[in-house]
Amino acid sequence: MQASQPPPSEHQSKMSHSASPPASSPSSHYTEPTTNYWQEFLPPTLPTHRSKQIPFQYGYPALLPDHHILMLPIRPLLSNPDHAVASLLVNQASMHVVKVLANLLAGHIRDFEPDVIIGLPTLGLTLAPLVAEKLEMGCIERYVPLGYSRKFWYDTDLSAEVSSITSPELGQKRVYLDPNQLPLVKGKKCVIIDDAVSSGTTLRATWDMLERIGCEVVGCGVVMKQGAKWEEKVGKERVERVKYVIESPLLEKVEGGWAFRS
């Protein structure tokens, strides 16, 4: 980490910049391997006035409600390497970090009083069972997972077409509800759980699909809100029912690192 960043944690100090991509790689501009990210929270004693930390180099200090910090590695977009996001892969995070984030998320959606927690693939499925358990719901022993893999008994009517900014090479794909799970969600107060909201495309398509098949979607919970462009896609009424734990900005390449972009 450079001086403009918060002091590195122990796991960050172990990162080797020599292992970063070569200079010819479009991702070599102030990026590094993510091997040791998402493993711990940094103490709330670090500076939190982010405007003093620009440009960001290698990582972005995401602030938790209790002012602890989770460093997020900066990843350039494949479609435009001059633009980047600060990423979170909860399935690569330490169990402690995942549990803390899931507990915080459960607290944010508790007032929705859901009957059912619905997990979005892929990373939302890491969080959904922990959130359901923390809420001590009647369905604590199970949650309802959606999936990308279509089984032969699936019904296209119980699916929605979605896309991802971090996996653009996959193009359009479909998210499915197993028909055998329909009785668990139809007519029930449901909360959608995912790791992040960015473009809003996946969230809107899934929300529309669930309402179409008879779910009462009372809200959505994500660990990370990435920028604000998703709000127009999702719609004002729904935006007010999307709860999140941390914010992650959209970034652009500048001399010496990365800065906020609109």
pLDDT per residue as tens, the chain (262 positions): 333 344 344 444 444 333 444 443 445 799 999 999 999 999 987 655 454 578 999 999 999 999 999 999 999 999 899 999 999 999 999 999 999 999 999 999 999 999 999 999 999 999 999 999 999 765 556 799 999 999 999 999 999 998 765 555 555 789 999 999 999 999 999 999 999 999 899 999 999 999 999 999 999 999 999 989 999 999 999 999 999 999 999 999 999 999 999 7
> Looking at the structure, do residues 153 and 239 belong to the same domain, yes or no?
yes
Residues 119 and 206 in one domain: yes
Domain identity same for 215 and 134: yes
Q: Do residues 37 and 167 share a domain?
A: no
Q: What is the dihedral of CA 126, 132, 135, 140, to 10 degrees?
A: -140
Q: Given the DSSP bridges, would you call strands 257-260 and 173-176 parallel, antiparallel or unpaired?
A: unpaired
Q: In terms of residue numbers, what domain contains 115? A: 95-248
Both 132 and 172 in one domain: the answer is yes
Regarding whether 126 and 221 lie in a shared domain, the answer is: yes
> Do both 85 and 122 map to the same domain?
no
Give Cα separations from 9 to 5, 12, 36, 43, 87 (angstroms).
11, 5, 10, 9, 18
One domain, residues 172 and 222: yes
Name the CA radius of gyration of the chain, rounded: 19
Candidates 249, 241, 248, 198; CA nearest to 108 is: 241
Same domain for 158 and 228, yes or no, is yes
Q: Are residues 31 and 153 in the same domain?
A: no
Please tell me the distance from the alpha carbon of residue 160 to that of residue 207, in angstroms, as a whole number.
Answer: 9
Q: Looking at 77-165, which runs of residues are DSSP E strands?
A: 83-86, 116-119, 144-145, 159-162
Number of domains in the chain: 2
54 in a structural domain: yes
